[in-house]
Homo-oligomer: A and B are copies of this chain.
Amino acid sequence: MAKIENVSPLAPSAFPELPEIDGVTFATVEAGVKYQARTDLMLARLAPGTSIAGVFTRSATRSAAVLDCQEKIGKSAVDSAAIVVNSGNANAFTGSGGAESVRRITEAVATEFEIPESRVFTASTGVIGELLPHDKIVAALPTLSAALSASKMQDAAKAIMTTDTFAKASTAQVMVGGKNVSIAGIAKGSGMIAPDMATMLVYIFTDAMVEQTKLQGLLSELTGPTFNSITVDSDTSTSDTLLLCATGASGVVCDEDAAFKQALHQVMLDLAHQVVRDGEGATKFVEINVTGAASEADARKHALSIANSPLVKTAIAGEDPNWGRIVMAVGKSGAAADRDKLSIWFGDILVAKEGWVYEKYREEDAAEHMKGSSISIRADIGIGNCDSTVWTCDLTHGYIEINADYRS
C-alpha cells in the first residue's frame, strides 16, 4: 500500500471548529492494532435515550461488524450506548473468527460501561483477511473509559483514518423553536474504494431530540442525495457504515423540523464531498448534473454512468473537454436517451446541443473551465423532467500509483 505523504490538493483549507454535543463524549488511544505511534482506536459514549439510526454497505460480502450493527439498529434506546471503531484491520473475510472478534469486543464494552450488548456498535477498517487482535482493543477499554471528554471529536476523526490524507468533519447549528440545536459529524474514506484500506465510515452526532424511526427515515432519505451520490471508482467497500446519533440533550424535538433536516443534509453533503476530495489520486472535484431524463432512476443511471466512466474521468484528468465521451456514457447507461435531443455543458459553456456540436462552441472556452480544480458537467437528456446530481473525481496516474505500484 502506498504511503501517502501529501495532503490531497482538494482538501479544505482547515479543519472546522467542532462544537461539543451534549450527551456525547469521545476518547482515543494507541491500541497498536497494526499502526505504530498513532491513535487507532476511538470510543464514543452516548447518553441514555440516544436514538441511533444507521445505513450500511449493501455488499453481499459485508463484514461481521456491519452485520452485527444492522441487527441492533432500531432496538430500544433507553440505555446509554457506545461506538467503538478501530483502524488498521478491517476484520473482513475472516471467517467465523470475524464474528467472534465482534462478540468479544461488544461483550467487553458492555461490561466496562454496564450497558446491554445491543447498545454497542463497532466498526473496523484497514487490511482484510487478517484476524482482528481483539485482545488489544479489549485491553485498551479502561484507558478509553478514563479519557472520555466532550471536546475530543477531532481526535476521534484522526483515529479512524487509514489512507485518508486529511481528517474529515463538518458541523452546523440550527435554531428550532427559538432554541439552538447542534450537529457535528466525522468521516473517513478516500472513496468507497479499497476494501482493504479505504472503507467509508461516518458518525454524526446531534443534541436534537428525534424518535428512532423518524431518525432512521431522515437518515435513509438524506443518504440518497449525499453519500449514495458520490463515487470514486465504482468499487464498494465491505464495511461502509454510517451512524446518526441524536442524544436529545437539547430538549428540542426535531422529528419533523425542516430547518433541522436541511442542516443535517448540509453536514452529510459536506462530509460526502470531503470523501470525494480525498479520492485516491484525485486532482479535480467533479459535479455531474443530469437534467431532462424520463425518470429519476434514469437520471441517476446516466449520472453514475458518466461519473464512473474511466474515459470521462481520464479526459477530466487531462483537462480535455471531451464531450464525445459524455455522449458515449449516456448511450451505454441503459437508461432512455435520444441522441438527437442530448445537450452537454462544461461549466457554463454549451458544448453540444440537440445531437451535435453547438454552432457557437469554441473549444478554448471549455478548455479554460477544465483547467480549474472544480469541474461541472451537465447533460440534458431532453426527453423528460427528472434530474440527478452526483459527485466524483478524476482518474489519474496517482490512482494507479496508489493501487498498482505498491504491494499491499
Residues of A at the B interface (CB closer than 8 Å) are: 57, 59-62, 92-97, 127-129, 193-196, 233-238, 308-311, 314-315, 317-318, 320, 322-325, 327-333, 335-340, 342, 352, 354-357, 394-397, 399-400, 403-408
Task: For residue A111, give the distance in angstroms from its CB to the closest CB of chain B.
Answer: 28
User: So how many copies of this chain end up in the complex?
Assistant: 2
A127 and B194 CA atoms in complex are apart in Å by: 35
Contact B400 A404 (CB under 8 A): no
The binding surface of chain A is classed by DSSP as loop
List 15 additional contacts besides A233-B311, A317-B400, A318-B404; criterion CB under 8 Å: A60-B335, A60-B339, A61-B331, A61-B342, A62-B339, A96-B340, A193-B311, A194-B325, A234-B309, A235-B332, A236-B328, A236-B332, A314-B404, A318-B406, A318-B407
Contact B396 A93 (CB under 8 A): no
| A92, A315, A327, A397 pick with most chain B CB within 10 angstroms | A327
Contact A404 B61 (CB under 8 A): no
A196 and B309 CA atoms in complex are apart in Å by: 14
Contact A400 B403 (CB under 8 A): no
Tell me whether A355 and B95 are in contact in the complex, defined as CB-CB below 8 angstroms, given that A324-B128, A324-B195 are known contacts. yes
Question: Which residue in B195, B238, B320 is a CB contact (below 8 Å) of A408?
Answer: B320
Interfacial chain B residues near A236, Cβ < 8 Å: 328, 331-332
User: Can you name 10 A-B residue pairings with CB atoms under 8 Å?
Assistant: A60-B335, A60-B339, A95-B340, A128-B324, A129-B356, A194-B328, A195-B325, A234-B308, A314-B404, A315-B404
Task: For residue A304, give the distance in angstroms from its CB to the closest CB of chain B.
Answer: 12
